[in-house]
Structure formats: C-alpha cells, structure tokens
Structure 1
C-alpha cells in the first residue's frame, strides 16, 4: 500500500478517521478513475457517485461554496439555487468540462426517458483544475468514453490516490499534486456517522506548504510562481442536513486549505461541494409537504472540525502518494513523499 500522511506521523487534528480514512467510508459513496498516461498526456477523469442508484430520481441534498471563483466548472449555479445533486460528479481538466457534461447528460438521458419530455432537463456537475503544466491540455484528449470508464469504475472500498484520474497531471505547492481523500468518524445521539473529503489538489505556491508538525518543505531549485492553480473539494456525509447547513460545512474546507498555507490566490479556482446521503429527494414525490430531518445547529461544530481536518489530510495524502513526475516539455514536479522519506527524523 502507498504511504500516506499518517505513515509519516503527520496527524491532522484530533478526530478519528474512518476504517479506510477515505470518502468511501460514507456508506453508499463510490469512486472511480480513468487515467491517461501517453507521452505528453497526463490527465484523466475521476467520478464520484453519492449512491449507486439513479441520482436523477433520488437526488441528494447538497451545497457549494466558491472560495475563489477562477474556475470553469459546470452545474454549480443550479446546485446553489436548488440545493441538490442529480448526477454523479465528474472531475477532470479545465478543457474537458464540456466532454464531462456531455457524458453525464448521455447517461442521464439513457436512464430517464422522461428528461426533456414529461419532466425538466438535467443538471450535470463537472469540476475542473488546469493540468496544463504537466500535460498537453490543448490536445483535448479526454473523450466521453474516458468519462464513461471512470463512471463504470466507481466502487466502494479503498480509494486510489495520487497521480490517478483527474489528479494525473496536477501540481500542488511546487510538488506533484493529485487526488487525495480522508474521513472522520463521530457520534450523534449515540449513533456513529462519517464525514469524508475528496480533494483534487492543484494549488499553492512553492515554499508555502506547512505540515502539521510545523515543517515547511519546499522543492529544490524551484522558481517562484504566482498562484494560478485550483483545488476541488467534495465533502460527503451521512448526517441528515439541510442544504443551508451543507453550505456552512463546505465553507470550512477553506480553513483546511489555510492550515496547509494556502491563501486562495487571484488565479486559483477553489471550489467546495458538500452533500448528504441521508434522506434523498424523490424526483417523483407526489406529496405537497415532505418530512425533513436536520442536524441540531448547536452540534454542527463537530462537522465543521471534521471537514477541516479531513480536507487538510486529503490534500497531504494526494501529494504524498503522488510520485515525482516529468511531463510535457520536460516539466517536472518532485514528490512530497520522497521529500518526507529524505527528511525522516
């Protein structure tokens, strides 16, 4: 198994992780990748499914927080307005958003013949970061078949991290970035619940990274660069929550990024989406009034802390698992995992 943050004694916060320390600790959540490595192409798609059923017919409550809006994602306006998600979430590179959109629409139309006829259209959620430093983003190599492959690979259980899927060509703090995940467990009214975070880490200036033990690793011979990256955070939980509460929790992802030394620069697209798998919304609900369970607001600090800690750890896991990588035009990113192994105390 690849080494992760905890294998180097890097503990983020005080709460306990779930058994996998991954977003798939949240029951029902599935994750899949399609990775492309071909010459100057280091890219891919990552698919996240809140549950394994028909998301258009059983939507999940959700919210989005735009930490810094230098991004090209799709579907966030309706997500913010209605507070729900009705397709899987696809993560990819900036110029593949349209491809991901088409793939999600194609799957939704195939599964729901009434879309655009007896009922409304569908709102795909596609999230992106720019992998153009390591990958030839202008080639626009990702296709709908690649998106379908990521969707079809989605599964519960252990999560592949680092330079996989959408994280294949990403960079963070001058190191190799990528996909990372973490989770936290806690009890409410004597019942165990989980909050998990998936991070697509492609942000941060070289030299700004702060580890939980206070060290500030920096790549050697790295020229100073302006902040032009992005980070996508997806927060999942099985706690019953209103979309307003989910927005508050999504916003705490920014605190997790700040613990790492990020300041959300002008050219960074920093987006956090949060959803709850509890009490899905029935698209065909016949009743005028429906019951809604929600967390007692006086207990929400537990989820705030969980979101902050899991965000910090998810980004570190992405950077530690990702290997040193040479990509387009000889551009190179070293591995934070290699740096940690070279600086063992």
Structure 2
C-alpha cells in the first residue's frame, strides 16, 4: 500500500472519499503503470482506462482545461471540439508523447480495422511532464511496448509515487510523481464519485503549503517555477460538455491551495471525462438523449474537484520515495520531512 497524506493526519476539505480514495472509485475506471529504472533512466508510462469496452466505439464525454499552456500534450484540441474521449489516456515524459500516441493509435486500429479507411481516424490523448532533472530524457527510453504494458496492467488497484510516468518527477522541490484521491457525492439518493489522478511535477521549492498551514522546506536552491502537472478527472455523474469543462477548471483551485501560482514555464492541464455519458460511434439515430446534471447541484462537484486535486498532489508527494537520479541529483520525500517534523 502506498503511503498517503492521511497516514500523517493530513486531510483536505470536508467531503467523504470513495472506498479506495482513488480515481478508480469511479466504476469501470482502471489505472496501469510501466516503470523504467536503470542508471540515468528514471521514467515510465501511466495509463488511465475509462471503461473495459471498445473506447473508439463507445466514446465517453470529455473536456480539457488548460490552466497554463506550457506543454506538449496530444489530442486536447479535438477533445474540446467534439467533447469526447475515444482512447485511454497515457501519461509520460515530454519526449515520449509521439511514441505513446502511436501506441494508442495501433491499439485502436487493432480493435477497429476500419479506422482511417471506412470510418474516421482516431484521436489519441497523451499528457506529459518534463522529468529531465532526474531522468536522461534525451535517451528517449520509452517505447510503444512500454506504453502497451501500462495499458494491459490497468487495474482498479493502483500504486502511487515513483511509478509509471511519475518515476522521475519533482514537485515543490520534493520528489513528485503519481497521486490520486476521490470524493463521494450523493445525488437523487444515489452514490456517485469524482476521482482525480495527478502527474505532479510543478511548484517552486518552499512554496508548498499544507492544509494546517505548515510550509515544508526541501532545502534546495530552486528559485523558479518551471514544472508541470497533468490532472485527469473522472466521474460517473452525467452532465453536459460545458458542465464537465467547468468542473475540470476547478482542479486549479486545488493547486492554488497548495501554494502554486502556475508560473511561466509550467504546463498545467486538466483532462476530464464522465463515464455517465457514452456516445455510440455507429449511432444510427438522428437525435440522441443526454442526461445532464441539474446546474443547481454543480457546486458539490466544484468542491470535490478542488479537494481531490489538492489531496492527490499531497498523496503523490507522500507516496514518492527519496531519489538520486541523473547526475546524482537528489529529491527528498515529503513523507521523510513529515516523519522528522513529528519527532
């Protein structure tokens, strides 16, 4: 089990979590990792799979929010134009975006041989952060096989910290990585969930603020904000594309609570999807019905997005172990700082 913020008594907000306190509390959502650790290579791939069916044939509602666009992600333009997600989401390092996109395209074609011939092409969605300080990013070590291994390993039980795409990431001067959290929301007497997964690689050293007001110091000389964060938000709540985009935007509030200000060189992006609205690629009808959230209830989702994002980042920092990476560069674990502060 990964160490989390709650193991240190750190709680973000007031809303209840899902049973796993993870993005996989959203029914059907699975996460997989493939990790590369060898010498100066500290990187990997993380896959977020919205459902177990054919993603191209059964697209889910999706939206993106670009908080600060210093990034090289793939597929976001079409996500916002059409409001759908038709592949799993892959996360990796900056120079692996093309490789991961190719892997998603090949997987989609293998399931749907008509892609690009009898029907439309496919829009792969890939998010990235620069793990260069701890990983030899110029080695371009991630391959399509690594991306496929992350996809086939996807499960509803997921690891956090120095795994998959998070292996070489840094956050607020500490070791960053993969983190997740969820919130449970009751609507019409039924339980729904909103979950967040982050790839944390952002924040200036010394700027981190814990919910209790403490400001951990990683004792580094970093004085500029030049990282990134990719946030993947998932929910089973039915809504419109516009509503999902509004909810996705509130993930930025969770980053701000931590002390982030989205610096010039930071790529801060949210990709949100709802499994509560599915579109049939081969739909024969001229009109389709879409169930949508009552806008008067949307504040609960706003709060859930902010709380889950804040906690997911802290979980990434607590689960990540201290690392010595490329060129003997070091990153301390927030969990170690918290243990020492309790003495």
The two structures have a TM-score, normalised by structure 2, of 0.99
Describe how 1:1-345 pairs up with structure 2 within 5 A.
1-156=1-156, 158-220=157-219, 222-344=220-342
CA distance in 2, matches of 1:311, 1:279: 22
Q: Report the Cα offset of residue 145 of structure 1.
A: 0.3
CA distance in 2, matches of 1:227, 1:201: 13
Q: 1:128-167, CA deviations, whole angstroms, 9 ceiling, x for partnerless residues?
A: 00000000000000000000000000111x2100000000
CA distance in 2, matches of 1:61, 1:230: 25
Q: Report the Cα offset of residue 239 of structure 1.
A: 0.3
3-state DSSP of counterpart to 1:248:
helix
Contact 2:61 2:83 in 1 (8 A): yes
Q: Report the Cα offset of residue 224 of structure 1.
A: 3.0
Contact 2:2 2:159 in 1 (8 A): no
Runs ≥4 in structure 1, deviation > 3 angstroms?
A: none
CA distance in 2, matches of 1:63, 1:100: 20
CA distance in 2, matches of 1:58, 1:269: 30
CA distance in 1, matches of 2:45, 2:296: 38
Structure 1 residue runs without a partner (length 5+): none
Report the count of equivalent residues: 343
CA distance in 2, matches of 1:3, 1:147: 26
3-state DSSP of counterpart to 2:184:
strand
3-state DSSP of counterpart to 1:300:
helix
Q: Report the Cα offset of residue 2 of structure 1.
A: 3.1
RMSD: 0.7
CA distance in 2, matches of 1:55, 1:212: 38
Structure 2 residue runs without a partner (length 5+): none
3-state DSSP of counterpart to 2:253:
helix
Q: Report the Cα offset of residue 290 of structure 1.
A: 0.4
CA distance in 2, matches of 1:249, 1:234: 12
CA distance in 2, matches of 1:230, 1:13: 24
CA distance in 2, matches of 1:3, 1:33: 17
3-state DSSP of counterpart to 1:97:
helix
